[in-house]
């Protein structure tokens, strides 16, 4: 059975100022979130990007083609009501950051990880005063509590819309450091995603592509770039 999709009921999607920000209008009707919260966006640029997603819908609405709208809904319906809990969850990634876990072998992969990841850990120490230690294998490594606290500080300062985008940057990459490097413009989003895929790309080089895994990687990579775009539109 095919999934039911709502039909398009509007002709034009536009934006207009609203109390507290900007809103998307569908034939003069303001959009609300799934939880019926008024969809008030913090910037005109973000509102216009959401309006473009709505305008691009054809006869039936495809939520999968509306990643910015989905993140905005999440910001209001989920993050806003549990902002501290979301920030705590994301800050915890610092204690198990992808960049800190290195291969035991082969030597070529070890060297590649050091060459590509060490500069980002050095940046985290210089920028945030957070020196993270590395370890080989998958066993947990204890990080300095003060370093983790300093790395978490910018996360707890984020408002719901920023935190909703940041959530995807962290969760998809597995790295708090990479996510911070994107939002603080130390890395381009595509480069950050490439760095998060270092181990997987190495395996592909050795053994070839896995069609299913490659398709999933494309989906996750697109979502990562969508989150970075959402963040940029908040500026």
Report domain extents, the chain. 13-66, 83-233
Q: Is 54 helix (H, G, I), strand (E, B) or coil?
A: helix
Instruction: Sort residue 156 into left (φ over 0), alpha (ψ -120 to 50) or beta.
Output: alpha
Q: Give pLDDT, residue 21.
A: 98
Q: Give pLDDT, residue 140.
A: 87
Q: Give pLDDT, residue 5.
A: 67
**Token pair belonging to 35:** 């939880």
Domain 83-233: CATH class, spelled out: mainly alpha
C-alpha closest to that of 192 among 218, 174, 205, 214: 174
C-alpha closest to that of 187 among 225, 134, 161: 225
pTM: 0.95
Tell the CATH topology of 13-66: ATP12-like (3.30.2180)
Beta bridge partners of 41: 22
* C-alpha dist (Å) from residue 58 to 6, 10, 182: 11, 10, 33
Instruction: Sort residue 219 into left (φ over 0), alpha (ψ -120 to 50) or beta.
Output: alpha
Question: Which residue is it, tokens 């850990």?
Answer: 121
**Token pair belonging to 141:** 């490594």
Q: 114-123 b/e with 16+ CB inside 10 Å = b?
A: eeebeebbeb
Q: Extract the residue ranges of the chain whose pLDDT is less than 50.
A: 1-4
- Rg of the chain on CA atoms, in Å: 20
Q: Give pLDDT, residue 139.
A: 86
Name all contacts of 50-55 with Cβ < 8 Å and 24+ positions apart: 50/15, 50/24, 51/13, 51/14, 51/15, 51/24, 51/25, 52/13, 54/10, 54/13, 54/24, 54/26, 55/12, 55/13
Q: What's the distance, CA 86 to chain centroid?
A: 13
């Amino acid at each position: 059975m095919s999934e039911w999709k709502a039909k398009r009921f509007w002709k034009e999607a536009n934006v207009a100022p609203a109390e507290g920000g900007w809103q998307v209008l569908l034939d003069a009707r303001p959009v609300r979130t799934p939880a019926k919260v008024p969809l008030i966006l913090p910037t005109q640029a973000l509102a216009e990007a959401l309006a473009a997603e709505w305008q691009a819908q054809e006869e039936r609405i495809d939520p999968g083609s509306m990643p910015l709208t989905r993140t905005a809904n999440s910001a209001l319906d989920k993050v806003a009501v549990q902002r501290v809990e979301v920030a705590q969850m994301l800050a915890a990634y610092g204690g198990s950051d992808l960049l800190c876990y290195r291969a035991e072998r082969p030597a070529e992969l070890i060297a590649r990880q050091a060459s590509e990841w060490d500069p980002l850990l050095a940046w985290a120490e210089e920028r945030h005063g957070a020196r993270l230690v590395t370890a080989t294998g998958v066993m947990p490594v204890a990080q300095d509590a003060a370093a983790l606290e300093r790395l978490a500080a910018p996360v707890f300062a984020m408002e719901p819309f920023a935190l909703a985008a940041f959530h995807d940057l962290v969760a998809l990459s597995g790295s708090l450091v990479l996510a911070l490097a994107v939002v603080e413009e130390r890395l381009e989003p595509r480069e950050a995603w490439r760095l998060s895929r270092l181990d997987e790309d190495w395996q592909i080089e050795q053994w070839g592509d896995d069609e299913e895994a490659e398709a999933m990687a494309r989906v996750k990579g697109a979502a990562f770039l969508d989150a970075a775009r959402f963040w940029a539109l908040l500026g």
